[in-house]
Amino acid sequence: MSLWVRLIIALGKLVSYISQSLHFGAGATWPGEIALMLRPNIASELIKNLKKGVILVAGTNGKTTTSLMIKQILEQQGLTIVHNASGANLLNGIVSVLIQKSQADWGVFEVDENSLPVVTEQLTTNNKQLMQVIVLLNLFRDQLDRYGEVDVIVEKWQKVLKTGSFVLNADDPAIAYLGKNLTHVTYFGVNDKKHFLKNVEHATDSTFCLNCGGRLTYEGIYYSHIGIWRCERCGFRRPKPDVFEVTSPLPGLYNQYNTLAAVAAVKALGIHNPDISDFMPAFGRQEEFEFDGKQVKIFLSKNPAGFNASLRTVLEQGANNLLLILNDRIPDGRDVSWIWDVDFEMISKNTKIFVSGDRVYDLALRLQYAEKKPIVISSVYEALSKSETLYILPTYSAMLDVRNTLLGRKIL
């Protein structure tokens, strides 16, 4: 490691210390941002300190939970891990954690969908000596103002995903399509027809075959466009999953997928039957805590598919009090038209619905069209005062605000 890189690492650690000391945040991105300005390829240099390899986890939903689960499984094997636990999943966030700790066996990083090409280039393409595992979970419409439609992301990924071991969701047609020309692929998926939806959700994204353009047909849909599918025109169909049976430590079908992905990822490393029974969820992802004698449960919900999955899970748990928070800040995306694709109609009339956030009136209007009676509030405390157990479904920046308000903890 050159003297210049060592100086940049020292500067990055100083920036992180100052950021935390002055309460500007947790120092999760600025050290990496400054390091990249001084040396644009520093990630490819820092990653060389890893002894075994790097695991990248990408997809619209489930990145944080899946990467954390992989990290915990590897730690059970006595391995040391560097991991972007804060959820800072752009290149600057990954560089920031490598500045803090680059001496480890494995790097396990969740990666923003749009950033996967540049992260892949720096962390894997330029480091052939490291084992590379890339886990692709799903693709849904998310922040259309930033990313565009699903096929735009698929095209970007297809150009850079060439070498390494891949763990792919067989039940997502877009993800499975990426595996067509890859050599080392482990597929995961659900083989349980009792989870098929009776009605197709509004948020259905991949209905056409990326191989030929024909319309896909489904034996059954688990949620959104995830299910057992095939194309009648060209014969392209769902690959047979290599990993399809696990017991998830978290409720909800989408967590079944996260668990399958984590188990499939470590299987690619030669680890079989890992113990995940004591897994604790990441911040904001089915996080539970007590505040002033009240139970609080947070389910991050940042796009139509994720929001529908969260709603289905909390309603199955018997939720009577919901707080829905809609923001439109940079981490959330400015375009909030996606709320019209959320199936709020599934909420029962007896459920009390509080709404808040920067775009509270957009959300309230959508709920009124769903024939619900939202209660507009300005503070989470108002909802807590009227609830014994409060289920909070926030967008990303709203989740950070809620945690900071109730727990006094900043993540980024």
The binding site comprises: 209, 212, 231, 234
**What does the alpha-carbon distance between residue 241 and residue 299 come to, in Å, rounded to a whole number?**
28
What is the three-class DSSP state of 212? Answer: coil
* Residue among 75, 71, 7, 82 at smallest CA distance from 42: 7
Q: How many helices (H) and strands (E) does the chain have?
A: 14, 14
Angstrom distances, CA of residue 365 to CA of 340, 355, 361, 374: 10, 11, 6, 9
What DSSP line would sit under 327-370, residue for residue? --STTT-S--GGGGGS-GGGS-TTSEEEEESTTHHHHHHHHHHT
* Residue among 394, 248, 405 at smallest CA distance from 326: 394
* Residue among 72, 9, 54 at smallest CA distance from 280: 72
**Which amino acids are annotated as binding site for Zn(2+), given as ranges?**
209, 212, 231, 234
Catalytic residue among 335, 358, 362, 401: 335
| φ and ψ of 244, to 5 deg | -145, -5
Q: Which residues contact 235 (CB under 8 A, 6 or more apart)?
A: none
Compute the radius of gyration of the chain from its Cα atoms: 21
b/e per residue 64-88 (b: at least 16 CB within 10 A):
bbbbbbbbbbbeeeebebbbbbbbb
For residues 320 and 390, the answer to whether their CB atoms sit within 8 Å is no
The dihedral formed by the CA atoms of 255, 257, 262 and 264, expressed in degrees to the nearest 10: 160
335 assigned to active site? yes
Catalytic residues: 335
